[in-house]
């Protein structure tokens, strides 16, 4: 069992959800994809939330969800790419858990990114992704307790993540 919440942060398409889901299964801990959790409770998709409430409305939902989830048993929470850009969210993550950055190069993200379901990347996915990478990575790196490089084979990255969880967080 984990001794604290583990927040996975990183760029859209970096592998937070896929790696987090599999790692949680391997170490026997709960897994939550924050965007899916928000969609489930809102009853509409993230693109629909952006359309109906704007990015600011979505970010408020995100902060509310994070606050709620800090009161649940420790597990792995895969964050949306923009969650760490909010100072309140960063304080929540620092106070209630540890932050693991899944760092994947833009070129690797672009090979299998579905930009249609990512409101901030719909137009000019490559240009926007590179812009977001340059804006967000300094914050991600400053916030991270651990950085997991996801630039090779999925299984090797998963093995590294599981090892970190077991050695550092008693999973």
At 45-90, the pLDDT tens digits run: 998 999 999 999 999 999 999 999 999 999 999 999 999 999 999 9
88 closest CA partner among 67, 112, 119, 110: 67
* CATH code at 5-169: 3.40.50.300
Q: What is the pLDDT of residues 110-167, one digit of tens each?
A: 777 755 555 555 677 678 888 989 999 999 999 999 999 999 899 999 999 999 999 9
Other C-beta atoms closer than 10 Å to the C-beta of 105 total 13
pLDDT for 32: 98
Helix axes 46-69, 34-42, angle to 10 degrees: 110
135: number of CA atoms within 13 Å, CB side?
A: 12
Kindly report the pTM of this predicted structure: 0.91
What are the residue ranges spanned by the domains of the chain? 5-169
pLDDT of residue 44: 96
Query: Left if phi > 0, otherwise alpha if psi is -120 to 50, otherwise beta: which for 53?
Result: alpha
Q: What is the pLDDT of residue 86?
A: 95
């Amino acid at each position: 069992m984990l001794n604290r919440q583990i927040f996975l942060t990183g760029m859209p398409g970096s592998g937070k959800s896929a790696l987090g889901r599999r790692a949680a299964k391997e170490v026997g801990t709960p897994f939550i994809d924050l965007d899916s959790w928000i969609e489930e409770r809102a009853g509409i998709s993230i693109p629909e939330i952006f359309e109906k409430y704007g990015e600011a409305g979505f970010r408020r939902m995100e902060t509310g969800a994070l606050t709620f989830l800090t009161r649940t048993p420790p597990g792995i929470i895969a964050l949306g790419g923009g969650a760490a850009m909010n100072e309140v969210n960063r304080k929540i993550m620092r106070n209630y858990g540890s932050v693991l950055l899944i760092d994947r190069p833009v070129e690797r993200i672009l090979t299998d990114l579905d930009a249609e379901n990512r409101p901030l990347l719909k137009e000019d996915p490559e240009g926007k992704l590179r812009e977001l990478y340059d804006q967000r990575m300094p914050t991600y790196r400053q916030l991270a307790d651990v950085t997991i490089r996801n630039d090779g084979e999925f299984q090797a990255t998963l093995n590294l993540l599981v090892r970190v969880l077991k050695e550092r967080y008693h999973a």
